[in-house]
Amino acid sequence: MLRLLWRGEAEAPTVPGLSWMTAGLLLLTLLAATLGLVLRALAGLVGAGLPESPTGVVLGSLATAAGLIIGWFCPVARLLGPLRAPAEAGFRIGNGWLDAAVRPALALASISNALDGALDGVGLGTARLTVDVSRVTRALDERGLDRLIFGLVGQVGALGGRARRLQSGLVYRELVVAAAGAALAVVALLVLR
């Protein structure tokens, strides 16, 4: 990325201001290395711990250096080599989701259809049984569940109509209802005490 940023594609001339960018990068590198030396002390200061394995530190540093060197000297066009075309295609295998999901689902549907046809041919009558069960379910839904829901809706509507009569807009009626409610609250407090 640094090579592409500073030098552009292939062997383009260097970017103006490269020396300032290099100086900034070197300053950040120096700070990172310095903080790396005192990292254990800083971690102890905030109560955190660091891994004790020097192998991890060495391997991490080598991997970082190798990545930077390869990225700097290897042109972008050659960086992935034979993986470039699949990477640009998103590493898609075959026809992507068509092969991974659609075709298996269609195959399963075809097998299920063939199995249903075979069972009907044997005389088990699964299709007829399915239609009969669906008719019974529909009748139960329309005559049972729907009737229950519509009855509940009707009762809630009727209750709303009765409650609406209490809100007449006449002040003296609303004062009477408020006084009755207050009296019931007082009686409830005295009884429950």
Q: What end-to-end distance do the CA atoms of the chain give, in Å? A: 78
Dist. CA 77–CA 70, nearest whole Å: 13
C-alpha to C-alpha distances, 182 to 71, 163, 169, 179, 186, nearest whole angstrom: 82, 18, 19, 5, 6
For residue 155, the model assigns a pLDDT of 93
For residue 180, the model assigns a pLDDT of 92
Calculate the dihedral angle through the C-alpha atoms of 141, 142, 146, 147, rounding to the nearest 10 degrees.
Answer: -120
For residue 123, the model assigns a pLDDT of 60
Strands (E), 67-180: none
With beta carbons less than 8 A apart as the criterion, state whether 126 and 119 touch.
yes
With beta carbons less than 8 A apart as the criterion, state whether 7 and 1 touch.
no
With beta carbons less than 8 A apart as the criterion, state whether 72 and 2 touch.
yes
Q: What is the pLDDT along the chain (193 residues), one digit of tens a residue?
A: 666 666 666 555 566 777 788 888 888 888 887 887 787 777 778 877 776 778 877 888 899 888 888 877 776 667 777 777 777 777 676 676 677 778 888 888 889 888 877 776 666 566 677 778 888 888 888 888 888 888 899 999 999 888 887 777 777 888 888 899 999 999 988 888 7
Dist. CA 181–CA 193, nearest whole Å: 18
Nearest to 12 by CA among 24, 3, 1: 3
Q: Which two tokens stand for residue 25?
A: 């990068």
pTM of the model: 0.26
Nearest to 119 by CA among 108, 105, 130: 130
